[in-house]
Structure 1
Amino acid sequence: MRRSLNRTGITRRLGLAATALTTTALTTTALVTAALVTAPAPAARAATEWTARPAPPTIGSSALLAVAAAAPGAVLAGGYQFKRPNDRWCWGLRCPPPALFNPTLQRWDGTAWSWLGTPGMPDLGQILHLDAVSLDDLWATGTRYIECCGDGAAYVAHLTGTASTELQAPAGLSHIAALDADEQGAWLAGTANSQVNGSPVYRWKGTWAPYSLPASISGLRERTPDDVWAVGTDADGAPYAARYDGSSWRTATPPQPAGMQGRLLSVLPLGPDDVWATGYTTAGGQRADRSYHWDGTAWQEAPAPDGARFGDALTDDGAGGLWATVNAGALTGTSDLLHYTDGAWHREAAVSGSGASVTALACVPGTGTVWAVGARDNAPLVLSTG
């Protein structure tokens, strides 16, 4: 959710220099993009200072997987707690998987954390995505946990100043990968449930309305109700992006070489001519992580530092740049983050030492403060800039 942002084009501020540019026009059926241009990498700069914040109280082995902010005194964090061995036995064997956990969802008011309920899911589950429209308009998604079988049905909740309600998740989604909310409702996106001929994108306005896109969606963000972006991978396994103009979706994928495979993981629309997407491509078994910027006319590219992999979270830094989490491959996460500033991505460590994992990011609207959450030594980790 980025309705409070009022920014000029990030390209001018960050100095992305186009050395070749081909301009095309929008049509009624597709958004034809221009040639990608790789920006030169400037010298490195001093790392950002991150400050440890009080972590929300949890029970036992815990981790935070999602964060959202409506204001400096209204920050949400969610994840799981009380991760413990599964002692249930099935037909003489211990039931897989080997652990159970309960959800945690809490709010920071500027002084202390307070518990928020997870209506309909009092135990055995986790919170994976959050969005905060305002102090009294909060959305959460996650998954239930089935003691015998692992992840169960998707979970969706809407928490307001007057009621906290579980909403039935769309049956047409087999997996929820993205949540974004506004004053009118919320968007959900992920993988379509082929068993019921489902769709990868749904919009809530009292009921779930499906939108059929030829892709599996990894990230979705709304700038305004008539400017919504979704990214993922198409039916051929290639990177995919689409833009919603209030009435229909149109393809808006950064141009890729023929036969290129890959996935766009996250998208961040900051203005009609200021949109970022991060992800990766694969060729010959080799992965190359990439970010793309849409300036209203063409896509430009800024590659990730050597060896760095983009994670699922992407946010602005409140000062003309971007923050992204790092995917550590087989690991659950890393305390390193990617920071886009001065025209290039830089890898920075948010905390020193080992055993820490940063999984989610949120910029407080109207400020330069960014919150990061994750886990350290099996306990919640909360950090912020500024």
Structure 2
Amino acid sequence: MSRRTPRRALSLCVLMAAVAGLPLRATSVAHAHADPGRPRAERTAAALLQESATARLRTDGSLSDVVGLSTTDIWAVGQQDVWEAWQNRSVLTHWDGSAWTEAGIRNDPSGAGHLRSVAAVSPRDIWAVGDGHDGLPYVVRGDGSVFDRVSVPQFGSGDWLGGVAAAPGRVVAVGSRGRKPLVATAGAKGWSIAKVKSKGKGTLYGVAVTARGDGWAVGDDESGPLILRASGGTWKPVDVPHTDGGYLRDVYVDGPRKAVAVGGVYRGEGDISPLVLEWNGKRWSRAEVPGRRAELYGVTGDGKGHFWISGFDPAHPGAAYLLRGDGRKWKIVRGETPVRSRTVRLQAVTHVGDLTLAVGHVVDDRDRYTDVVERFQPGSTPSGEAAGTGTPEATGSRAPVEK
């Protein structure tokens, strides 16, 4: 799929073309990853176990984003009936350590067409954004048990939201308006459209903010990757390495001197190279990652300098694919190779405690979609026996992960 379509549903195949959008991924403390506290010690990739499961969505379901507050408090969003562009339904589902449970949106019985991004300030302050069947951007807020659609008068028909981030007292949603970058913020006084100094066309897909008020938003414009930085209430573009055909889909902030943005470089139909940019406190630079071809969608971290990136490797389409970095080097973490033909795309990833959990979808040899939840966790015991955080309804066997 061409990167230059109006909604740029790049590399998420015909699923996103059907709904004129794309699922996005998670980002940092605020976009989905509330601080999980002190993580357990990092272990080598060879010590990880992988398990494939599902949240048991209805026919043709896909998960777009995930946020982890703890190993027993995880939220994921997406859609069901993906082929029915005007009848598809949003998904808002919760993992409590034992089972996935879908939550409804009580003041909108029709349901959003597609939820793309989720963020959590705390277990009682959850946000999600996407598309509504009324043609307007869709914003949801909940306390963990009850969710409502939030009316935002500043949004109009044609506005599009791709990502959301949240910190105490602050919510930021990003997307596009008239093919130009859109940043909307909410605080004690309600919603407002932030000033964006980018002059050209462009779309934002991922955002991360911190409790200090810092923020990054990523996407692409007509020339390549686009990164905006929050400064005094204004979002300003910053210099990025020149990359023809480049785009960004997600960003994670690990402090004032460390951030990671991920995406790809479009070289032609079906030919996309991975793109990882790293912030060192002064500038963004391109990181060296293994493999010539891969599509990267989501990024997360543990707040201690370790990062995980979710995506798709066309050389191994049936195996779950992650990149893991320690600030010096990136390594591939790959799941079990399936017996039957399938394609696995991991759209987003979260990391809490010693659990790395990625979500997305599987397409089988009959073009049928099934949501997928891939978990990676250290240890040699079956994950269902470890600390009460096992995943039920496993669809694949536990398998060691290669370095």
Query: Which TM-score applies when normalising by structure 1?
Result: 0.72
| Structure 1 residue 190 displacement after superposition | 1.2
| Structure 1 residue 315 displacement after superposition | 0.9
| Structure 1 residue 279 displacement after superposition | 3.0
- 1:157 equivalent to 2:144? Answer no
Match of 2:151 among 168, 180, 185: 168
CA distance 1:59–1:238, change in 2 (3 Å): closer
- 1:326 equivalent to 2:311? Answer yes
- 1:361 equivalent to 2:349? Answer yes
Name the SS of the counterpart of 1:303 in structure 2. coil
- 1:131 equivalent to 2:119? Answer yes
* Partner residue, 2:282: 297
CA distance 1:218–1:104, change in 2 (3 Å): closer
For residues 295-344 of structure 1, what are the alpha-carbon distances to aligned partners after superposition, in whole Å with 9 as ceiling and x for unaligned? 21343431332323342211125664322122568x99972222224733
Determine if contact 2:176/2:182 at 8 Å carries over to the other structure.
Answer: yes
For residues 322-372 of structure 1, what are the alpha-carbon distances to aligned partners after superposition, in whole Å with 9 as ceiling and x for unaligned? 22122568x9997222222473333332343142332221122xx232211
* Partner residue, 2:129: 141
For residues 234-267 of structure 1, what are the alpha-carbon distances to aligned partners after superposition, in whole Å with 9 as ceiling and x for unaligned? 3x4232212214433343222427xx45223222
| Structure 1 residue 220 displacement after superposition | 1.0
Name the SS of the counterpart of 1:306 in structure 2. coil
CA distance 1:385–1:306, change in 2 (3 Å): closer
Cα distance in 1 for partners of 2:354, 2:158 equals 35
Name the SS of the counterpart of 2:216 in structure 1. strand
Cα distance in 1 for partners of 2:238, 2:318 equals 30
Determine if contact 2:117/2:164 at 8 Å carries over to the other structure.
Answer: yes
Name the SS of the counterpart of 2:156 in structure 1. coil
Cα distance in 1 for partners of 2:319, 2:112 equals 26
- 1:114 equivalent to 2:113? Answer no
**Which structure 2 residue ranges, 5 or more long, are not aligned?**
1-27, 378-403
**Code of the aligned partner of 2:182:** P
* Partner residue, 2:208: 221
Cα distance in 2 for partners of 1:161, 1:77 equals 12
Cα distance in 2 for partners of 1:328, 1:167 equals 37
- 1:64 equivalent to 2:46? Answer no
* Partner residue, 1:256: 242
CA distance 1:142–1:343, change in 2 (3 Å): same
Determine if contact 1:5/1:270 at 8 Å carries over to the other structure.
Answer: no
Cα distance in 2 for partners of 1:173, 1:200 equals 11
**Code of the aligned partner of 2:76:** A
Cα distance in 1 for partners of 2:266, 2:182 equals 23
Name the SS of the counterpart of 2:97 in structure 1. coil
Query: Which TM-score applies when normalising by structure 2?
Result: 0.69
| Structure 1 residue 79 displacement after superposition | 1.7
Cα distance in 2 for partners of 1:320, 1:308 equals 25
- 1:73 equivalent to 2:76? Answer no
- 1:201 equivalent to 2:201? Answer no
Determine if contact 1:242/1:253 at 8 Å carries over to the other structure.
Answer: no
| Structure 1 residue 139 displacement after superposition | 0.8
Name the SS of the counterpart of 1:157 in structure 2. strand
| Structure 1 residue 227 displacement after superposition | 1.0
* Partner residue, 2:373: 382
Cα distance in 1 for partners of 2:74, 2:218 equals 26
Match of 2:163 among 153, 175, 178: 178
Determine if contact 1:265/1:279 at 8 Å carries over to the other structure.
Answer: yes
CA distance 1:49–1:163, change in 2 (3 Å): closer
How many residues get paired?
A: 324
**Code of the aligned partner of 1:212:** V
Determine if contact 2:194/2:235 at 8 Å carries over to the other structure.
Answer: no
Name the SS of the counterpart of 1:132 in structure 2. strand
| Structure 1 residue 68 displacement after superposition | 1.0
| Structure 1 residue 161 displacement after superposition | 5.6
| Structure 1 residue 229 displacement after superposition | 0.6
CA distance 1:218–1:199, change in 2 (3 Å): closer
Match of 2:256 among 269, 272, 280: 272
Cα distance in 1 for partners of 2:266, 2:195 equals 28
**Which structure 1 residue ranges, 5 or more long, are not aligned?**
8-12, 14-43, 87-96, 147-151
CA RMSD of aligned residues (A): 3.4
Determine if contact 2:116/2:163 at 8 Å carries over to the other structure.
Answer: no
Greater share of residues in strand: 1
Match of 1:104 among 91, 95, 101: 91
* Partner residue, 2:21: none
Determine if contact 2:250/2:297 at 8 Å carries over to the other structure.
Answer: yes
- 1:242 equivalent to 2:221? Answer no
CA distance 1:357–1:334, change in 2 (3 Å): farther
